[in-house]
Amino acid sequence: MASQLPDYTIRLMKKEEIPEVLDIWRETQLSEGTHSLDTWFSFDPEGFYVAVTNDGEILGVCAGVLQSEDLAFIGLYVVKSSYQRKGIGKRIWDTVMERVGLRNAGVNPVPEQLANYRDRAGFGIQTSWCSVVCIARDILTSELCTNIPGLEIQVLKPDDDIIDEVTVYDADVYGFSRRNLVKLLCEEGDSITVAAITVGERKVCGYGCIKENIKGNALVGPLYADETDIAELILYYLIKAFPLAESRGVTMMTIDCNQSAIDMTEKLGFFKEPGIARLYTKEEVNVKFEKVFGQHNLNFSVF
């Protein structure tokens, strides 16, 4: 039932408002890490806007996180169900897009809103590939690679010397540096981040993270690796190190232009939801797709 619209303003989100914002996002019944907002807020605190009443009630939220100086990503766009269709969403959206300015921007629209974003909101460039949400209640871990000679899995801590090398690896996948994001990811609550590293040379060959999902299961992302076997080894370690994954299942988001990633999820018994289109305002962003086995986040990250 619609509620009478109170007076409200649009402003930057405060850190202490994250739990309330996450509760609003739960209304969408979509995935998000229980502490992912903390990580991304620390990464770009000026990228989150809320509609808030004079009494402090948050009515809606939208994020426009800067990936680099010339690229932003739009997500976490939601208005409380009781206050929808009252113009709140458009006001938040316009404020976020004003912050984005002339930068290229990407978005993952829900399928029913694809035409609105592509044809009317300025996100006119649609990629040939889609994001795919993959869900498994019981993962066939016996099908995963469990050992690669000369390669070890290391749980990452924020002050580890190897963090700098993982950050360089991340930048190689993306084509630009995401600054301190890997370190922030290692600090995220209810999560484990690991890297695959060669013995002796200490070369990073991939890394991944698993965390608690607000939907009650485990959420994997990112999962980047040089090869499928390395991606499987990282995933195997993450699942075994995170009891929630085996007791409640796993959700991960991959891309259908990486056939090796799709094949891996199918082999492990994941159910695939309909593809989610990727749109941009200026130009498509190309990364090393062959290394993206699991996307970092559909709300805040390009991949």
| Residue ranges of domains in the chain | 8-130, 132-294
For 32, the 3-state DSSP assignment is coil
118 φ/ψ angles, rounded to the nearest 5 degrees: -70, -40
Top-level class of domain 132-294: alpha beta
CA angle 35, 32, 268 (to 5 degrees): 115
Per-residue pLDDT of the chain (303 residues; tens, 9 = 90+): 567 899 999 999 999 999 999 999 999 999 999 999 999 999 999 999 999 999 999 999 999 999 999 999 999 999 999 999 999 999 999 999 999 999 999 999 999 999 999 999 999 999 999 999 999 999 999 999 999 999 999 999 999 999 999 999 999 999 999 999 999 999 999 999 999 999 999 999 999 999 999 999 999 999 999 999 999 999 999 999 999 999 999 999 999 999 999 999 999 999 999 999 999 999 999 999 999 999 999 999 999
Q: What residue type is assigned to position 59 of the chain?
A: L
Top-level class of domain 8-130: alpha beta
C-beta atoms surrounding 286 within 10 Å: 8
Model confidence, pTM: 0.96
Q: What is the DSSP string of 200-217?
A: TT--EEEEEEEEEBTTSS
CA 218 vs CA 196, 213, 239, 281: distances in Å: 20, 5, 9, 32
CA–CA gap between residue 302 and residue 245 (Å, rounded): 25
